[in-house]
Amino acid sequence: MKFDGIEDFTVEAGDSAKIDLWVDTNDASSTGATSGNYLKLNLNCDNDITSNYCKFVGKSSGSTINEDTVNTYVLANAQQIRKTRPTITKASGSPSGAATPGFSEALRLNVSADSRGYVTLNSLLFELSSTDNGSSKWNQCGDGTSTELASATKWSFYKSSDPSNLLDDSTDWTFIKSTGAACTSTEDVDMAYALLDFDDASGSTAAPEIGAGQTITFILEVDTTGASSSSDDSFRVSIPTETTADALSTPRDACTWEDANQNSGADINCNYIKELPVRGGTFVY
């Protein structure tokens, strides 16, 4: 696109100025933009384009220069157009501090949907930070012969408004090493992540939906039995950024979701969810 007649935009000598460019995406095509489309507006003042697509006139001299002199092509950041998206934040009352080892709340989350449409939450990746000062191997996938933290029976996820209705089952969980690869249940290695995939085909629970303009508070509980109180073991659960999850040797998604306005129903990762990371509180036993 080309803008003509920008006569009132003046940059004083030795100064700089900013231009804000607004686009009505409803007018981007005859049918308007579709949720999931990308928009990228680059500034093309390259000298291989049509003459006088970029034209600058000196305020005092009246001299004119164009793209032959400027010869610049500025790449913009890509923007993804969405009619709705989730917002993920740590909820008020998410616990931290002194704790007793056992089954207890580890993280409380708020997930909100934009007023323009509901979202479906398909998966969450929980990042773990822990210590095993007592050398009990409680925070490992296993101890070499039996399962430790990598057991679905030690994890549960539910709405704060309905704690008796668990949203996860045993097939929804994948327990992960620091490389991003799944650990075996008895593997003698520290557990770094826990992936909760509601969209798992073999699972019996449905992926939760967050209504347009609504917020749902979710609670994650973890069984930390085996952590040492006498040695001050610690534990924290967070949700990483998509960049962190993608950078693992076996790449993962920090979360995945579906846009109610997008007909494909495809999983969308959390690359553009700017509230991440969400860091839970640290427990000291």
- DSSP annotation of 190 reads B
Which range marks the domain in which residue 72 is found? 1-81
Indicate if 17 and 154 belong to the same structural domain. Answer: no
The model carries a pTM of 0.81
Indicate if 37 and 165 belong to the same structural domain. Answer: no
pLDDT digit of tens for each residue in the chain (285 aa)?
666 666 667 888 888 888 888 877 775 555 666 777 778 888 888 877 666 678 888 888 888 888 888 888 888 888 877 888 999 999 999 999 999 999 999 999 999 999 988 999 999 999 999 999 999 999 999 999 999 999 999 999 999 999 999 999 999 999 999 999 999 889 999 999 999 999 876 667 889 999 999 999 999 999 999 999 999 999 999 999 999 999 999 999 999 999 877 766 678 999 989 999 999 999 999
The last residue of a domain, from among 30, 53, 81: 81
Interstrand relation of 278-279 and 103-113 (parallel, antiparallel or unpaired)? unpaired
Indicate if 253 and 190 belong to the same structural domain. Answer: yes
- Please give the distance of CA 81 from its chain centroid, rounded to a whole number: 16
Q: How many domains does the chain have?
A: 2
The last residue of a domain, from among 81, 103, 138: 81
- DSSP annotation of 91 reads P
How many other CB atoms sit within 10 Å of the CB of residue 260?
20
The last residue of a domain, from among 61, 81, 101: 81
Indicate if 40 and 94 belong to the same structural domain. Answer: no
Going from the C-alpha of 132 to that of each of 129, 137, 187, 189, 234, the distances in angstroms are: 11, 7, 16, 12, 8
Quick one: tokens of 52? 């006088």
